[in-house]
């Protein structure tokens, strides 16, 4: 099976929660970043999650800027490449805002439904709806509708309550009130009550606890992981231990290892990693260009040296840098060496 099926994905997430570890979820935009993600997971003997955002999908389609087409292309390639490895890969879409439900999420769910009718596996295993920009009531209304569609197609839905600060993929929340960065136990109770109306639907929950996208100097971002603990305890006190959420950690760049490990104890099973892997991909390219500037450009009438400006030369270094960062993320999240195998 090229990419995990629904049962294996649920098993992955359950095992992570039981074992207090989480899977890195890596954003990809090109075939090189896709390969880097899989190679990084494989080196750590870790299962993992690869995800495509609306902007990543648009980029993958070139000048067409078609976020659905680009996402399909990346997902199809991921299916073929992942089939050559022994680890498990789940495919996910990241941060779809409310105004893109009809132009991004639903077309991708429809594509999976079409494939299932033809006897083919799901295109994506999970999708994220980001309703953080609207009221919680409207957020949950859309979330319930989407969870119904996902359940019908054996897709896991990820939802978010609260706002992740900063800027990512063209969405800027840098000026949002700080109180919006923290999900309350009351919010978590509302999320559980709304989504568990859909019997058999499975979902992940990105509760916010001061998370901010991007990279900031120490002290600029104040994470409060105990918010996750308080919310989980409130939900389990009312609905029982089986109500414990599969939690997702967004905006984790620059977090201390102690903060990361604390969240694992509270039910985090997925941590999004994008900013750090972008840097890890780009940094070796910068080094290559600065070190070999007289070989990659035609200085003073010279012709340069082809083997240095051949994109394969520096893209291989970029891929290796990103893969190494992903392997480190697996170690930080304690998923290394824990692949469930095929």
- Residue-wise pLDDT for 27-71, tens only, equals 999 999 999 999 999 999 999 999 999 999 999 999 999 999 999
Structure tokens at 260: 């990361």
Q: Are 296 and 289 in contact (CB under 8 A)?
A: yes
Q: Are 261 and 227 in contact (CB under 8 A)?
A: no
- Residue-wise pLDDT for 147-166, tens only, equals 999 999 999 999 998 755 44
Q: Are 245 and 188 in contact (CB under 8 A)?
A: yes
- Those residues whose C-beta lies under 8 Å from the C-beta of residue 318, and which sit 6 or more positions away, are 32, 36, 281, 282, 284, 285
| C-alpha to C-alpha distances, 89 to 125, 190, 319, 340, nearest whole angstrom | 10, 31, 18, 11
pLDDT at 179: 55
The Cα 263–Cα 250 span in angstroms is: 11
102 is catalytic: no
Catalytic-role residue among 94, 130, 276, 336: 94
Q: What is the pTM of this model?
A: 0.92
- Those residues whose C-beta lies under 8 Å from the C-beta of residue 164, and which sit 6 or more positions away, are 132, 173, 181, 206, 208, 211, 212, 213, 250, 251
Spell 145-166 as b/e; 16+ CB within 10 A means b: ebbebbbebbbbbbbbbbbbbb
pLDDT at 85: 97
Residue 220: DSSP 8-state: S
Q: Are 165 and 176 in contact (CB under 8 A)?
A: yes
Fold that domain 6-332 belongs to in CATH = TIM Barrel (3.20.20)
What 3-state DSSP class applies to 284?
Answer: helix
Q: Which residue has the higher pLDDT, 340 or 224?
A: 340
Report the percent of the chain where pLDDT is more than 90. 80
Structure tokens at 242: 């089986």
């Amino acid at each position: 099976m090229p990419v995990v099926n629904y049962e294996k994905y649920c098993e992955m997430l359950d095992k992570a929660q039981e074992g207090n570890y989480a899977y890195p979820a890596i954003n990809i935009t090109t075939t090189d970043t896709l390969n880097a993600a899989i190679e990084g997971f494989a080196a750590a003997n870790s299962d993992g999650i690869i995800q495509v955002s609306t902007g990543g999908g648009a980029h993958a389609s070139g000048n067409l800027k078609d976020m659905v087409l680009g996402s399909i292309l990346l997902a199809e390639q991921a299916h073929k490449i992942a089939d050559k490895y022994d680890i498990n890969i789940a495919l996910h879409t990241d941060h779809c805002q409310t105004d893109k439900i009809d132009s991004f999420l639903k077309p991708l769910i429809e594509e999976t439904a079409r494939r299932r009718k033809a006897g083919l596996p799901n295109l994506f295993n999970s999708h994220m709806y980001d309703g953080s920009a609207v009221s919680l009531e409207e957020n949950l209304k859309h979330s319930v509708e989407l969870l119904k569609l996902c359940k019908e197609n054996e897709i896991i839905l990820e939802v978010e309550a609260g706002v992740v600060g900063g800027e990512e993929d063209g969405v800027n929340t840098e000026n949002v009130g700080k109180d919006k960065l923290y999900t309350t136990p009351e919010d978590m109770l509302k999320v559980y009550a709304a989504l568990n109306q859909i019997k058999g639907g499975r979902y992940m929950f990105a509760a916010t606890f001061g998370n901010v996208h991007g990279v900031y100097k120490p002290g600029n971002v104040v994470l409060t992981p105990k918010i996750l603990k308080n919310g989980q305890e409130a939900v389990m006190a009312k609905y029982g231990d089986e109500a414990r959420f599969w939690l997702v950690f967004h905006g984790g760049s620059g977090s201390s290892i102690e903060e990361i490990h604390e969240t694992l104890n509270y039910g985090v099973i997925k941590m999004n990693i994008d900013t750090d892997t972008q840097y890890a991909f780009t940094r070796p390219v910068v080094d290559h260009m600065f070190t070999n500037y007289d070989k990659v450009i035609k200085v003073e009438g010279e012709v340069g040296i082809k083997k240095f400006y051949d994109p394969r030369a520096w893209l291989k270094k970029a891929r290796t840098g990103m893969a190494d960062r992903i392997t480190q993320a697996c170690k930080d999240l304690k998923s290394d060496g824990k692949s469930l195998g095929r």
